[in-house]
Structure 1
């Protein structure tokens, strides 16, 4: 089983365009550092900034799921409109020249996931829902 990003919505969006991705965006997560670097250079907000970026205590050796016990629940939410310029920009750049964006990822799978994430965020934006990216296994 692999890790992936999955959008969580507040309030929840039962008809989310992302419901068909129960394991999340594995390709996006696997090349997230590259995507974040590209986004930052292009002047867009990094995708990882919409995920839980709280620092992990140096002496923590447990399972990531145990972090909530130490740090408390993560309560931060974002507006989809803040993420859409990044997602749309990455999609456009990948369509134009995939190697400029990610040298290690599967460009076709990455585009598929970014488009699905963009569709889900547009639907959430229309519903005035907030979102955040969660790690799922």
Structure 2
């Protein structure tokens, strides 16, 4: 566990490189926000998290029964359950602060980083459209 990195993981670096290549500038591991997002696009108020499948409990309904049969099952089930709860709490806090939260699974980033960037670009486009509509309503 001590060798598991909290920042600059392979998946984070891969996604950051893809964003940089497209011309997006970002901040990494932004401490001023809840959950210290892996990447933020401050201009658009987008917080991006790159989650590992195991530690963040992807397909939890499938993973949990497997863990119940393994060694040290109580530890792993409580740890991953708490991680999932914390992810939900962080999402809610960021949404309350007016941020858009995007979470990607590590394998999705590894297999299709361009699709992940496309999701981010669609989110930026949607936010811009919302702002234009609000601006028109004010006028």
**Larger helix percent:** 2
TM over 0.5: no
TM-score scaled to structure 2, two decimals?
0.30
Greater RCO, CA 8 A, separation 6+: 1
TM-score scaled to structure 1, two decimals?
0.30
